Structure 1
Amino acid sequence: MLVNCVMERDSSVGTLYEAKEIDNGTISGTGRFNTTMAFYPSSSFYYPITEFPYQVNLNQQLYVQVQLTRAEPSLHLFIDSCVASPNHDFSIRTYDLIRNGCRRDNTVTIYRNGDRYFAQFSFRAFKFLRTHNQVFLRCDVVICADNDYNSRCRQGCRYRRKRSLSSDHHTAVVTLGPITQKDPEEAVAKSEDKE
């Protein structure tokens, strides 16, 4: 099996599942910018979580980093919006976490956004997990040149949408998921084993 990917301007990339068996697999790609999004266990953002699906407790703090695949100090990455949905194609019910660079959910904490080649935020696992088996995230990001002082990355949170003064920026959509809720009985058993 041979898979080729070509990333065009304003393209969409998603991580939604993990292959269990790889037979003679090769991954290669070309593109202007590659972005990735991953969950982390804490606000230190050292090692990404590789568990799939990511099982969490209701109201657990979730840490997310979106970044350029290759560290590039001359570029900045800005999360313009980030939504959650119980559906991987985001065609039904979405819930705003970040909109226009501003936090829209009171559990969201934005650690870094628009001043490095990565952006970081956290939020609490929320009500979707009570009524749906799984939740997916989709973030719209803007990539700007460090020396563009009028870029969307430098404008930060804007409660009202206005046209960017910069004409040269790249946008991408990254998706991540699913998040699933841990079985309450399993979580109790694990906590009893630790005692």
Structure 2
Amino acid sequence: MIVEVEKATLPQLHYEYLRLSDPSNTVCSLQTHSNSTHVVAVVPLNACGTQIEEDADDLLFKNEITIVDNTSDLITRKHQLEMKFFCQYPKRGNVTFTFSAHRENVTVWDKGLGRFTYGFEFFPDQRFVSRIDPRLYPLEYDVGDRIFMEIEATTTVNNTQLFVESCRAAPYDNTNYPHPYTLIENGCNLDTTLIVYPTSNKKEFRFSIEAFKFIGLHDKVYISCSVLMCEAGNPHTRCSRGCQPNGAARARREAVIESGIHYVSQGPLRLRRSVEAGNTGLNLNLVFIAGCALAAVGMICGVLLYKTKNSSFKYQLLSFEEN
């Protein structure tokens, strides 16, 4: 806390005798910061006798400036000056922070193949004309909507091609998430809804899947893929071998014909909660109606059984009396 008091507003005092509640610490000296026109106190929140009080909404740090005849005295009966002051801090406040959910391009350098930049973007439809504006992220989908994606490599190296070896989805932005949902593995399409679209550019990979959600409370999906670049047309590269269900090891030759594996990701995709809430309510209503129906059937069966037993009992009595 910083307190400034104009000396002209104070009576004629010995300003060297001004002190805070606890002057034992040298940092509590008012003479250090005062000048010819103002008494200045720089007061720590946790020293110099500062007391803390609180209520439901605020924290109050209180202290006072007093004067004594002798700075070594502990008490005084000459009450010449007492200036109480405090600083009030609200316990709660609002903070804002902005960030971009959209992932930027990934630039890597591979020995022998040079520099590559990988971009991972979402598109509104299968024409892949213009990407979805990054300012709209996170993107919202309904379960079952088709999601269109493109991975593109940019490089000055000629005669190269892109290969997507794997793609996985996870509820967190973590490539090491232990239980991802696999879309592509070892170059093989595993998701039944996945469609790969042909393109004349060997440095592009376009595909789409139907939107889904992870079971549980997760409403977000991140997609990450492992990619590499190869010498185009070379039959000995991983790109040329394509889908390998058994995950055969990559054969490296003396000449550099393919890059290492790199990871690109994009997201999050968010599932619209209104759809989930509607479905949940419908399911609960159906369960409730079905439960009531079963309970009603149970009660009817119980009543019928009771009456049947009574009827049988009475009939047997009548028969016995007639004989």
TM interval, short-chain normalised: 0.7 to 0.9
Determine the structure 1 residue equivalent to 2:6: none
Determine whether 1:151 maps to 2:233.
no
Paired amino acid for 1:44: R
Residue equivalent to 2:264: 174
The 5 A counterparts of 1:41-52 are 41-50=124-133, 51-52=136-137
The corresponding residue for 2:197 is: 111
C-alpha distance in structure 2 between counterparts of 1:71 and 1:45, whole Å? 23
Q: C-alpha displacement at 1:142, in angstroms? A: 1.5
238, 246, 250: which is aligned to 1:164? 250
Q: 1:14 — aligned with what? A: none
Match in the other structure for 1:89: 174
Deviates more, 1:124-133 or 1:58-67: 124-133
CA positional deviation for 1:148: 2.2
Deviations 1:172-194 (A, max 9, x none): 11011100012437xx9xxxxxx
CA RMSD of aligned residues (A): 2.8
1:131-157 alpha-carbon deviations (Å, 9 max, x no partner): 412110110012111142211111111
Partners of 1:80 and 1:19 in 2: CA distance: 25
Partner amino acid, structure 1, of 2:169: A
Q: TM-score, normalised by structure 1?
A: 0.73
What corresponds to 1:120 in structure 2? 206
Q: Counterpart of 1:33 in 2: which secondary structure?
A: strand
Residues 108 and 94 of structure 1: CA distance in aligned 2, closer, same or farther (over 3 Å): same
User: What one-letter code is carried by the residue in structure 1 that aligns with 2:220?
Assistant: Q
Q: Is the 8 A contact 1:148 1:166 kept in 2?
A: no
Contact 2:233 2:240 (C-alpha < 8 Å) held by counterparts:
no
Q: Return the index of the structure with the highest Cα Rg.
A: 2
Query: What is the deviation of 1:93?
Result: 2.1
1:34 matched to which residue of 2?
117
Deviation at 1:164, TM superposition (A): 2.6
Alignment of 1:70-81 (within 5 A): 70=155, 74-81=159-166
Runs of 4+ residues over 6 Å off in structure 1:
none
The residue type equivalent to 1:111 in the other structure is: Y
Deviations 1:62-106 (A, max 9, x none): 111101135866211011000000011142420000011111110
Q: Which one scores higher on RCO, CA 8 angstroms, separation ≥ 6?
A: 1
CA contact (8 A) 2:101 2:267 kept: no
Contact 2:165–2:187 (8 Å) recurs in 1: yes
Give, in whole Å, the separation in 2 of the partners of 1:19 and 1:58: 21
Task: Name structure 1 gaps, 5 residues minimum.
Answer: 1-16, 21-28, 189-195
Q: Percent identity?
A: 26
Q: Which residue of 1 aligns with 2:100?
A: 18
Q: Structure 1: how far apart are the matches of 2:156 and 2:143?
A: 33
Q: Distance in 1 between matches of 2:127 and 2:145?
A: 16
Work out the CA distance in 1 between the residues paired with 2:157 and 2:100. Answer: 27
Which amino acid in structure 1 is aligned with residue 120 of structure 2?
M
Normalized per residue, the structure richer in strand is 1
More helix by proportion, 1 or 2?
2
Worse-superposed segment, 87-96 or 63-72: 63-72
1:35–1:68 contact (8 Å) kept in structure 2: yes
CA contact (8 A) 1:72 1:117 kept: no
